[in-house]
A and B are shown apart, each in its own frame.
Chain A
Amino acid sequence: MPTGRVGRRTFFALMASPSGLIGLAIVVVFAVISLVAAAGLLPYGPAEQDAASRLQAPSGTHWMGTDQFGRDVFSRVASGIGNSVLVAIVATLISGTLGTVAGTVSGYLRGSTDAAVGAVTNVLFAFPSLLLALTIASVFDRNWFTVAVAIAAGFTPIFVRTARGPVLTLREMDYISAARATGMRAGSIMLRHILPNITGILIVQVTLTLSWAVLAEASLSFLGFGTPPPAASLGSMVYDAQTLVVAAPWTLWAPGAALILLIVGLNLLGDGLRDALDPNRKGR
């Protein structure tokens, strides 16, 4: 069902739920870390090797220890978080925009447009999203942007369905008929009267998609099809730690904990937003 517009009241409702508050706090911390990494304010260069200090345990000089090449794990994790967040945001932007436009237009116009969009959506849904991302990523010359595009392909159909459902209900409402009767164009109706009424649902979907995109990026990097080295990526760091689980556990738990926190934080925020936007769901 369509939820209302997003406003100040949503924010307060979010702050009132413990899970939403925790989620928001975690997401803000990660956003700050990404910005710090992007600004180059890390203690060491993420790709900077130092043969003299290989596999050192966490200490005052290396907060999360060093890896088998003597690289500072903290700097690599921070820079990996920045990379994950960048890829996830771009992938979500692409799939969210494409999917919302396609879903809204097809739901509002119905007819052959709807049938065509539905067919394409079904085809994209027929691929497990990780496999689709993997196949596209294997074809292109990889950089952070092509990885984001590959991930976006699998999430676009989800946005199509998320947007289309409520639009089907909205288009039958009296105020939409009234707008149509005054001679308003379909495009303006969708932009001014339909979109604002599905923003709530879309925001929740965006938050959840961000968490899936983080997971997808990490999985691709783990399999060797993500952002290529020497760029630090949380997934490839976990891959490199495979043989060091016992010898240098910090090389596993540092990127691992970052991934878990980021994904859980986004999920909590998504749940909190959903509850805040939909009073009927409270206590469920």
Chain B
Amino acid sequence: MAHVTKNHRMPQKKGAVLHSLRSSPTVRRLVGALGTLFGVAITVFVMLRALPGDQITAAYGIEAAGLTEEQRETLRAYYGLDQPLIVQFFTWLGNVVTGNLGYSSRTNQSVLEMTLLSLPVTLQLAVLSILVALLIGIPLGMLSASRPNAARDWLGQGIGLAGLGVPNFLLATFLLGLAAQVWGFNPNGLGYASPWENLWLNLQQMMMPSLVLGFAVAAPVMRTTRTAVLEVRSLDFIRTAKAKGVPPRRLRWSHILRNALVPVVTMTGMQFGFLLGGAVVMEQIFSLPGLGRQVLLGMNQQEYAVVQSTVLVIALLFVIVNLLTDLLYRKIDPRVRAD
């Protein structure tokens, strides 16, 4: 379907604005993402309603056993648990939309406050890991593709396979054990330092987890780069450029790599979900107070509100990144726009 991207240049009839809005892929994606988020909210709600024991037991622990039936009823009314599920769901959703993510029943801290502190930690870890992945994956992919099935290709593919096959928690355990138990280097044991408190210490603490996660993501980046470079290199315009006498260096960087990067961008965006999952593991091993640790702590302490809201925040983050990847992909690859 052909659609009008720059419709403000066109003379418009009534309803045309609405129509072009509806057919604009960006708007369609946005609406789709909103629908997905609503589904995510329902899923999170349903999953955590299945928790063994209710919110009262979670909040009052062992004391809950000593509550009289009347006290229990009052508390249920207080938490809104006597309402029908659908009412509970929309009350919760309404709260979330207005920024009330609930409270930790242990520390009474609001989950929004906790999240504002932990979100930057996870984001920093994710961004650093992606940087590491691109810095390892793209050159290695190009190296592999420069001579397929030669020794350098096997080396590149071997490293790629290692990134795929070595579980991140295993590599992290090994590195941390080696550094801390052999060299006595354990910056993560000193308590977390944010970048504005102590940038040097912060970077030391982020180094190992982002290397480990980056190494894992480097594998698919490398594979995608290799395939894309091989594919682009066999296209006609490269032959034309060669015939025209474009120097090899220029050919490699601005003709081949530039076009090969399109699938790499998409792939990297898709790996973000893996990174968020991997962040749970890394934050646990390296004692980083990020979103993943917040979820895990909530699960271990049966902190109902914390788990529910944090899982939702992580899914929200993932949906946003996917949306951005999708839009960016459309931006850098004009062919997709005519979809």
Which A residues are within 8 Å of any B CB, using their own CB? 119-120, 122-131, 134-136, 138-141, 215, 218-219, 222-225, 235, 238-239, 241-243, 245-247, 252, 256, 259-260, 263-264, 267-268, 283-284
B138-169 with Cβ < 8 A to chain A: 148-149, 161, 164-169
Instruction: Specify which chain B residues have a CB less than 8 angstroms from the CB of A126 in the assembled complex.
Output: 36-37, 39-40, 315, 318-319, 322
Tell whether B170 is near chain A: CB-to-CB under 8 Å: yes
Tell whether B18 is near chain A: CB-to-CB under 8 Å: no
Asked if residues A139 and B177 are in contact (CB atoms below 8 Å), the reply is no
Tell whether B295 is near chain A: CB-to-CB under 8 Å: yes
Tell whether B52 is near chain A: CB-to-CB under 8 Å: yes
Asked if residues B148 and A283 are in contact (CB atoms below 8 Å), the reply is yes
Asked if residues B295 and A215 are in contact (CB atoms below 8 Å), the reply is no
Distance A224 CA – B297 CA, assembled complex (angstroms): 11
Q: Answer whether A222 and B276 are a contact pair too, CB < 8 Å, given A131-B295, A134-B295.
A: no
Asked if residues B169 and A238 are in contact (CB atoms below 8 Å), the reply is yes
Asked if residues B161 and A131 are in contact (CB atoms below 8 Å), the reply is no
Asked if residues B177 and A252 are in contact (CB atoms below 8 Å), the reply is yes
Distance A124 CA – B230 CA, assembled complex (angstroms): 33
Asked if residues A259 and B32 are in contact (CB atoms below 8 Å), the reply is no
**Main secondary structure on chain A at its contact with chain B?**
helix
Across the two chains, which residue of chain A brings its CB closest to B311? A135
Min CB distance B218 to A, Å, is: 15
**Main secondary structure on chain B at its contact with chain A?**
helix
B81-102 with Cβ < 8 A to chain A: none
Distance A281 CA – B278 CA, assembled complex (angstroms): 31
Give me 27 A-to-B residue pairs in the complex whose CB atoms sit less than 8 angstroms apart, sorted by A's number. Answer: A119-B39, A122-B35, A123-B42, A126-B40, A126-B322, A127-B273, A127-B318, A128-B274, A129-B274, A129-B277, A131-B277, A131-B280, A131-B315, A136-B47, A138-B307, A139-B48, A139-B51, A219-B167, A222-B169, A223-B281, A224-B300, A235-B169, A238-B173, A252-B170, A256-B174, A263-B164, A263-B165
Instruction: Specify which chain A residues have a CB less than 8 angstroms from the CB of B280 in the assembled complex.
Output: 130-131, 134, 223
Asked if residues A127 and B299 are in contact (CB atoms below 8 Å), the reply is no
Asked if residues A219 and B227 are in contact (CB atoms below 8 Å), the reply is no
Distance A238 CA – B169 CA, assembled complex (angstroms): 8
With A119-B39, A243-B177, A264-B165 given, name 15 new contacts (CB 8 A). Answer: A119-B36, A129-B273, A131-B276, A131-B277, A140-B50, A235-B169, A238-B167, A242-B173, A242-B177, A245-B174, A260-B165, A260-B170, A263-B165, A264-B161, A284-B230
- Residues of B within 8 Å of A, CB-based: how many? 52
Instruction: Specify which chain B residues have a CB less than 8 angstroms from the CB of A127 in the assembled complex.
Output: 40, 43, 273, 311, 314-315, 318
Tell whether B118 is near chain A: CB-to-CB under 8 Å: no
Across the two chains, which residue of chain B brings its CB closest to A264? B165
Asked if residues A284 and B318 are in contact (CB atoms below 8 Å), the reply is no
Min CB distance A168 to B, Å, is: 15
Min CB distance B325 to A, Å, is: 13
User: 6 nearest interchain CB pairs?
Assistant: A245-B177, A130-B277, A123-B39, A264-B165, A128-B277, A138-B299
Min CB distance B144 to A, Å, is: 11
Asked if residues B47 and A128 are in contact (CB atoms below 8 Å), the reply is no
Contact with A along B276-296 (1 / 0, CB 8 A): 111011001000000000011
Asked if residues A119 and B182 are in contact (CB atoms below 8 Å), the reply is no
Instruction: Specify which chain A residues have a CB less than 8 angstroms from the CB of B322 in the assembled complex.
Output: 126
Q: Answer whether A218 and B167 are a contact pair too, CB < 8 Å, given A126-B315, A131-B314, A225-B299.
A: yes
Tell whether B12 is near chain A: CB-to-CB under 8 Å: no
Tell whether B328 is near chain A: CB-to-CB under 8 Å: no
Tell whether B30 is near chain A: CB-to-CB under 8 Å: no
Min CB distance B85 to A, Å, is: 16
Across the two chains, which residue of chain A brings its CB closest to B296? A223
Instruction: Specify which chain A residues have a CB less than 8 angstroms from the CB of B47 in the assembled complex.
Output: 135-136, 139
Instruction: Specify which chain A residues have a CB less than 8 angstroms from the CB of B37 in the assembled complex.
Output: 126
Instruction: Specify which chain B residues have a CB less than 8 angstroms from the CB of A138 in the assembled complex.
Output: 299, 307
Instruction: Specify which chain B residues have a CB less than 8 angstroms from the CB of A223 in the assembled complex.
Output: 280-281, 284, 296
Tell whether B198 is near chain A: CB-to-CB under 8 Å: no
Distance A128 CA – B311 CA, assembled complex (angstroms): 10
Asked if residues A139 and B52 are in contact (CB atoms below 8 Å), the reply is yes
Instruction: Specify which chain A residues have a CB less than 8 angstroms from the CB of B299 in the assembled complex.
Output: 134-135, 138, 225
Instruction: Specify which chain A residues have a CB less than 8 angstroms from the CB of B116 in the assembled complex.
Output: none
Distance A25 CA – B311 CA, assembled complex (angstroms): 40
Across the two chains, which residue of chain A brings its CB closest to B281? A219
Q: Which of A125, A129, A140, A284 contacts B227 (CB 8 A)?
A: A284
Q: Answer whether A218 and B169 are a contact pair too, CB < 8 Å, given A126-B37, A131-B280, A134-B280.
A: yes
Instruction: Specify which chain A residues have a CB less than 8 angstroms from the CB of B295 in the assembled complex.
Output: 131, 134-135
Distance A265 CA – B315 CA, assembled complex (angstroms): 32
Across the two chains, which residue of chain A brings its CB closest to B298? A138
Instruction: Specify which chain A residues have a CB less than 8 angstroms from the CB of B274 in the assembled complex.
Output: 128-130
Instruction: Specify which chain A residues have a CB less than 8 angstroms from the CB of B314 in the assembled complex.
Output: 127-128, 131
Distance A119 CA – B32 CA, assembled complex (angstroms): 9
Tell whether B68 is near chain A: CB-to-CB under 8 Å: no
Most B CB contacts (10 A, CB to CB) among A138, A218, A263 go to A138
Distance A127 CA – B161 CA, assembled complex (angstroms): 25
Instruction: Specify which chain B residues have a CB less than 8 angstroms from the CB of A259 in the assembled complex.
Output: 167, 170
Q: Answer whether A128 and B276 are a contact pair too, CB < 8 Å, given A119-B39, A139-B48, A215-B167.
A: yes
